Amino acid sequence: MRAKRIKGIKFGLLSSKEIRKMSASRIITPDTYGEDGFPIERGLVNQHIGVIDPGLRCKTCGGRMGECPGHFGHIDLEAPVIHVGYAKLIHRILTATCRKCSRVVLGEEDRKRFLEEIKRQKERQADVGEVVKQVFREAAKSSVCMYCSEPQNLIKYDKPTTYIEIDEGGKERRLMPTDVRERLERIPDEDVFLFGMDPENARPEWMVLTVLPVPPVTARPSITLESGQRSEDDLTHKLVDIIRINQRFMENRDAGAPQLIIEDLWELLQYHVNTYFDNEIPGVPPARHRSGRPLKTISQRLKGKEGRFRGSLSGKRVNFSARTVISPDPDIEIDEVGVPEEVAKELTITVNVTERNLDVMRETLKRGKKHPGVNYVRRVDGRKIKVTESNYEALAEELDIGWRVERHIQDGDIVLFNRQPSLHRLSIMAHYVRVMPGRTFRLNPAVCPPYNADYDGDEMNLHVLQTEEARAEAKILMEVQRNIISPRFGRPIIGGIHDYITGVFLLTRGEKRFEKEKVLDILYKIDIEDLGEYGGTFESPVRSEVSGMGFEEVRLSRYWTGKQIFSMILPKQLNLQFRGKMCARCIERGEGCKKENCSREAYIVIKEGNLLCGVIDERAIGSFKGIIIDKIFRQYREEVAKVFINNVSRLAINYIKQTGFSFGISDEDLPREGKELIREEAVHEAEKKVDELIRAYEGGELETLPGRTLEETLELLIMQELAHARDDSGIIAERYLSIENPGVLMAKSGARGSMLNLTQMAACVGQQSVRGERIKRGYQGRTLPHFKPDDRSADAHGFVRSSFKDGLSPTEYFFHAIGGREALVDTAVRTSQSGYFQRRLINALQDLEVKYDGTVRETKGIVVQFKYGDDSVDPSKGEYGKVVDIDEVIREAIGVESRS
Amino acid sequence: MKKGKFSILEHELVPKHEILEEREAAALLDKYKLQKEQLPKIKKSDPVIKEIKAEVGDVVRITRRSRTAGKSLSYRLVIE
Ligand SMILES: [Mg+2]
Ligand SMILES: [Zn+2]
Ligand SMILES: [Zn+2]
Ligand SMILES: [Zn+2]
């Protein structure tokens, strides 16, 4: 068949004439295959409307199976039926038109006004829906036709496809499809425009079917079961029903059967045509298969997530892709992905054999299907040969220039890696393959944040690029290291998480000293040229070898500090000063920053690539913050930044692995005196104050806050007081939990968790709330039968004074479950809502483009913004919202240390 | 203007709207290589357009304060 080019798409209704014109065969028998096993002439699977049997030829176009695209047939309906999809519109048109002359019952003036308005909207390519709605509303108002003076009756619409006319006397008369069609036929062309329809493409009467198009068999192929039995498509089953009823209708009518029987059959025909179009009409029993399964008819094929649009057109399944669970590997680079060998042997890249790669490809082919091997070869003549255990050696001999080889992916191949939901562009990035044993994809944990991935069973997809253009484009635009800076907020989104931060924090805190062997143990996975200046020497006892007498001798050995070890992975010229996460907001509190002398080591100074003071924490190397990563990226670009993050991974993990780090239930313990203090000073104190507030309220002494009722005031004050109770217990608990406590260490360094989490575990869980208020629902006047009615005290309304470690009382436990449920429901609702919103936003914005003149335009060239973002700055390329950070440039030029 | 009412143009949240002269409008279209229809639109019934008495086919320049750039300019074509 000749390839054709689509010039345009016209939307409209098919007229009976058109249906007949495009039909290749009038279908009259419900049978499909004859006893000889061949399709029956004029049957539902006849050879004029397409072939699905190998060996047969199409009687319309002469094509074989696969060549013939199929052709429509038609069924002549013995009685017209309503098209369900338009039933509602038909009702509105019937209501808007005269029952006798079929003109739209609108005054000449209104008519003109509406017609003009519609014409104008169409010229502007705007929606005519609103005007049309008005037309129907206005036309339904008149009770008498202004053209033929016929009084108008009310028309009742009975779902799905019945219309009943009610006259002034209240007498009901059913409008049969023939009546409906007659009325619609009489509507003059000029009036059709008023419904927003174009009579050229969609006459109203075409919504009442007299001929039914029969889709080509290629659209409803039958399948042959293992038993050799044929099983027809659901659509074919439905068409069989329609033809049967159609025939019975004709026979009964010709035999002069009573009106009642005719009408019943007519109704049945309508039912079958309805369910043929849509088998999920509300109020209509769905047509079922013999097995009881509802049939999947036209509408069901198109609708919904798995339908033709969302399932087959917008969401196609693709070749050259793989999906499996992800797991962490801090030893691979951030731009790598560990691929299981099993997967690597299934995914291929097509290589054109040239004189330059002939030898390499031959070597590859000689390995057959063993890992970096070949699955298929295509010879110069275009024949594709599967590589097997028995033919690979011969093929390797025969291999020549011009062949195409489908080789396995191997280390260094570029692939796309993706995790759903793909909410931003960083959800798909380019990684380099690293084939590994095991069955999971391996991913460096530093790259989890952009994917929003964790390792609790998350799966990810991998796509192998098939052309040089795609590979080049992926390399330039999508490599992980080129996306370290987020286009959303202009700061690194890739960086240390969890143990990376803990590890580096432990290493750089204080002045830890390591002798050479230890230093090498920590650094052995990192590519460093020399250890540099050592920090000093310390005395260490050494058993004397010479004497052999076992007396000890003291020797001086060199040491390096943790800060020096960290400095080894910093670029040599890096200068940077900033305050880390440990800073207690000294400046805001008016104390002034002590800088280098900060007792918390919160002031970080890096000079010429040496960490002079300060402890490295989340603010320095973490994702989303990562000041050091940010600085390195901007100063040295992506490759150096990548190497730095790789080295941080290895350094941190190697160090924490050697020192050990754990958090257990006993780390939530507080000494007895601490617990006492919390109970007395924080909880009791607050409960006392709450009781005072309640007494003041009951005594009428409580002063209302502006804009609140007395009750609201009381609630507000109680909430405040109880919030205090938790904060105070947290502060007391903190006194007993030093930074040596692993929980505190993780919270303070930003590795995981917060001080609030620790407070709740060790000291006091605090007030539970529903919609920001204390818990008040339950029984009349009380939350639980454990309390007296109208008890306003703290524990009767969800204050949990226990800590998680101590355990909650039954009532506390219940209140906590209430609060927890709200949080759960909220997140569930929020994600679905924001997901839908995101879909719509992306749909609306996907075609916008920044043009070379700096404007943002849509497809028709209509300007959306005259200057992208008002300032033409890409946040991931500029410096904190500016094109350049001019102060920084000057500081650099005159040699002053950067940003403090 | 009726007594007791104030001009919306003086409200701090209403950005400055100015009608471009023929020459300016032509220069704008030339600068961005635009057809008039490719400009963003504003309805004649828009309160500000009524206030400055712009006609259908006029191009207005809107000067806004911008968080990213300090000041930003945009242009709109007045439509029916
Ligand atoms: Mg997960
Ligand atoms: Zn054909
Ligand atoms: Zn009439
Ligand atoms: Zn500080």
Whether A68 is in a domain gets the answer no
Same domain, A736 and A620: no
Same domain, A352 and A385: yes
Q: Which residue has the tokens 């207690």?
A: A584
Q: How many beta carbons lie within 10 A of that of residue A533, not counting itself?
A: 11
A–B interface: beta-carbon pairs under 8 A: 42
> Of A283, A314, A345, which one is at a domain's C-terminal end?
A314
Cα gap B31→B13, rounded to integer Å? 29
Are the beta carbons of A96 and A135 closer than 8 angstroms?
Answer: yes
- Give the model confidence (pLDDT) of B32-42 as tens digits: 999 998 999 99
A870 close contact with B: CB closer than 8 A: yes
**Using 50, 70 and 90 to split pLDDT, how confident is the model at A411?**
very high
Question: What is chain B's Cα-based Rg?
Answer: 14
A855 close contact with B: CB closer than 8 A: yes
Cα gap B48→B44, rounded to integer Å? 9
- Give the model confidence (pLDDT) of B12-30 as tens digits: 999 999 999 999 999 999 9
Are the beta carbons of A403 and A379 closer than 8 angstroms?
Answer: yes
Which residues lie closer than 8 Å to A843 by C-beta, 6 or more apart?
A: none
**Using 50, 70 and 90 to split pLDDT, how confident is the model at A464?**
very high
Cα gap A147→A134, rounded to integer Å? 20
Q: What is the mean pLDDT of chain A?
A: 88
Domain containing A466: what range? 321-483
Query: Which neighbouring-strand residues pair with A442?
Result: A327, A338
Same domain, A720 and A799: yes
Read off the tokens for A516: 């050479």
pLDDT exceeds 60 at position B58: yes
Same domain, A638 and A747: no
User: With contacts defined as CB-CB under 8 Å, which chain B residues touch A870?
Assistant: 66-69, 72
pLDDT exceeds 80 at position A327: yes
Q: Which residue has the tokens 């019975």?
A: A248
> Residue ranges of the domains in chain B?
8-79
CATH of the domain at A344: 2.40.40.20
Burial class of residue A798 in the structure, from the number of CB atoms within 10 Å of its CB (0-12 exposed, 13-18 middle, 19+ buried): buried
> Of A642, A659, A676, which one is at a domain's C-terminal end?
A659
- Give the model confidence (pLDDT) of A18-29 as tens digits: 999 999 889 888
pLDDT exceeds 60 at position A548: no
Considering only alpha carbons, which residue of chain A is nearest residue B71? A870
Residue A863 is nearest to which of B39, B69, B80, comparing CB atoms?
A: B39
Give residue A500 CA to ligand 4 midpoint distance, Å.
Answer: 23
Flag the least confident range among A221-225, A377-381, A756-760, A841-845.
Answer: A221-225
Our CA-based measurement puts residue A488 at a distance from the nearest CA of chain B, in whole angstroms, of 14
Q: What is the mean pLDDT of residues A382-407?
A: 90
Q: What is the model's pLDDT at position A547?
A: 54
Q: What is the model's pLDDT at position A345?
A: 95
pLDDT exceeds 90 at position A702: no
CATH of the domain at A762: 1.10.132.30
Written as one letter, the residue type at A49 is I
**Using 50, 70 and 90 to split pLDDT, how confident is the model at A1?**
low
Torsion of CA A882, A884, A887, A889, to 10 degrees: 170
User: With contacts defined as CB-CB under 8 Å, which chain A residues touch B80?
Assistant: 120
**Using 50, 70 and 90 to split pLDDT, how confident is the model at A65?**
confident
- Give the model confidence (pLDDT) of A228-273 as tens digits: 778 888 999 999 999 999 999 999 989 888 888 889 999 999 999 9
| Kind of pairing between the strands at A414-418 and A799-800 | unpaired
Same domain, A465 and A353: yes
Residue A793 is inside which H or E element, if any? none
Burial class of residue A199 in the structure, from the number of CB atoms within 10 Å of its CB (0-12 exposed, 13-18 middle, 19+ buried): middle
Read off the tokens for B49: 């357009």
* A853:B74 CB<8 A: no
Are the beta carbons of A329 and A336 closer than 8 angstroms?
Answer: no
**Range list of H helices, A340-447:** 341-344, 358-366, 392-398
Q: Which residue has the tokens 């828009």?
A: B46
**Strand arrangement of the beta sheet that strand A374-378 belongs to:** A348-352, A404-408, A374-378, A384-386
Same domain, A343 and A479: yes
pLDDT exceeds 90 at position A556: no
Whether A620 is in a domain gets the answer yes
Q: What is the model's pLDDT at position A152?
A: 84
Are the beta carbons of A475 and A629 closer than 8 angstroms?
Answer: no
**How many C-alpha atoms does A675 have within 13 Å on its Cβ side?**
12
Cα gap A900→A580, rounded to integer Å? 11
CATH of the domain at A556: 1.10.274.100
| Percent of chain A at pLDDT exceeding 70 | 97
**Using 50, 70 and 90 to split pLDDT, how confident is the model at A543?**
low
> Of A290, A314, A338, which one is at a domain's C-terminal end?
A314
Closest CA relative to residue A622, chosen from A493, A514, A797, A755:
A493
Cα gap A369→A407, rounded to integer Å? 9
* B75:A866 CB<8 A: yes
pLDDT exceeds 80 at position A878: no
Same domain, A192 and A158: yes
**How many C-alpha atoms does A557 have within 13 Å on its Cβ side?**
15
Helices (runs of H) and strands (runs of E) counted in chain A: 26, 30
Cα gap A183→A175, rounded to integer Å? 10
Angle formed by the axes of helices A129-139 and A108-123, to 10°? 170
Interface test with B, best of A116, A119, A862 (most B CBs within 10 A): A862
Burial class of residue A276 in the structure, from the number of CB atoms within 10 Å of its CB (0-12 exposed, 13-18 middle, 19+ buried): buried
- Furthest CA-CA distance within chain A: 132
* B68:A860 CB<8 A: no
Considering only alpha carbons, which residue of chain B is nearest residue A859? B38
**CA A358 to chain CA mean position, Å:** 43
Q: Bigger pLDDT: A593 or A563? A: A563
Q: Bigger pLDDT: A841 or A543? A: A841
Are the beta carbons of A478 and A632 closer than 8 angstroms?
Answer: no
Cα gap A68→A58, rounded to integer Å? 7
Are the beta carbons of A494 and A483 closer than 8 angstroms?
Answer: yes
Q: What backbone torsions phi and psi does residue A127 show, to the nearest 5 degrees? A: -75, 135
Q: What is the mean pLDDT of residues A414-418?
A: 97
Are the beta carbons of A481 and A638 closer than 8 angstroms?
Answer: yes
Q: What is the model's pLDDT at position A552?
A: 67
Q: What is the mean pLDDT of residues A296-315?
A: 87
Our CA-based measurement puts residue B66 at a distance from the nearest CA of chain A, in whole angstroms, of 7
pLDDT exceeds 80 at position A306: yes
Are the beta carbons of B80 and B64 closer than 8 angstroms?
Answer: no
Question: What is chain A's Cα-based Rg?
Answer: 39
Flag the least confident range among A68-77, A193-202, A481-490, A871-880.
Answer: A871-880
Read off the tokens for A711: 């009750």
pLDDT exceeds 60 at position B1: no
Q: What is the mean pLDDT of residues A686-705?
A: 88
Are the beta carbons of A464 and A349 closer than 8 angstroms?
Answer: yes
Strands (E), A780-873: 799-800, 849-850, 856-857, 863-865
Query: Which neighbouring-strand residues pair with A172?
Result: A166
This prediction's pTM = 0.77
Closest CA relative to residue A297, chosen from A361, A356, A238:
A238
Same domain, A325 and A460: yes
Give residue A622 CA to ligand 1 midpoint distance, Å.
Answer: 20
Same domain, A820 and A855: no
Same domain, A270 and A248: yes
- Give the model confidence (pLDDT) of A653-674 as tens digits: 999 999 999 999 999 888 888 8
Q: Collapsing DSSP states into helix, strand and coil, what is residue A469?
A: helix
Question: Which ligand gives the minimal distance to the CA of A585?
Answer: 4
**Strand arrangement of the beta sheet that strand A863-865 belongs to:** A849-850, A856-857, A863-865
Q: What is the model's pLDDT at position A448?
A: 95
| ipTM for this prediction | 0.93
Same domain, A819 and A856: no
Read off the tokens for A116: 């003009």
Whether A830 is in a domain gets the answer no
Residue B72 is nearest to which of A864, A867, A881, comparing CB atoms?
A: A867
Our CA-based measurement puts residue B9 at a distance from the nearest CA of chain A, in whole angstroms, of 22
Pick the CATH number of B8-79 from 3.40.1280.10, 3.40.250.10, 3.90.940.20, 2.30.30.30: 3.90.940.20
Cα gap A39→A236, rounded to integer Å? 13
**Using 50, 70 and 90 to split pLDDT, how confident is the model at A896?**
low
Cα gap A398→A391, rounded to integer Å? 11
**Using 50, 70 and 90 to split pLDDT, how confident is the model at A900?**
very low
Read off the tokens for A883: 């094109």
**Range list of H helices, A559-684:** 562-567, 618-621, 627-659, 672-677
Read off the tokens for A462: 């991998």
Same domain, A525 and A558: yes
Our CA-based measurement puts residue A866 at a distance from the nearest CA of chain B, in whole angstroms, of 6
User: With contacts defined as CB-CB under 8 Å, which chain A residues touch B39?
Assistant: 862-863
